[in-house]
Amino acid sequence: MAHHKSAKKRIITSEKRNLYNRSIKSRVKTFSHHFEDAVNSENREESQKTFATAVSEIQKAVSKGVLHKNTAARKVSRLARQFNRTFAAKAEQN
């Protein structure tokens, strides 16, 4: 247990930041799942909308310091690749 006042304060602030960061990461995951559901339903318009919102949430997490920019770039890249694979295959079939 911390004995110094500053150490006690750091424990409290780190708990607050942990909760905040966890909520932001949860939002990113939620919007990513919404995107994956839209892609699996093969609705192109809905997928584009959910892709934009998912990317927006990821970029917000970067701006708030929750995610590293390279982590965010990797996540966006994976979402874009999933979108392109799904709908490029559909375009070739038509």
Residues 6 or more apart in contact with residue 83 via CB below 8 angstroms: 35, 39, 47, 48, 51
In a domain, 69, yes or no: yes
Q: Kindly tell me if the per-residue pLDDT of 23 is higher than 80.
A: yes
In a domain, 86, yes or no: yes
Q: Determine the structural domain holding residue 47 and report its residue range.
A: 30-93
In a domain, 58, yes or no: yes
In a domain, 67, yes or no: yes
More confident: 92 or 62: 62
In a domain, 24, yes or no: no
Number of domains comprising the chain: 1
User: CA-to-CA distance for 75 and 59, rounded, in angstroms?
Assistant: 10
In a domain, 7, yes or no: no
In a domain, 77, yes or no: yes
pTM for the model stands at 0.86
CA torsion angle for 52, 54, 56, 59 (degrees, to 10)? -140
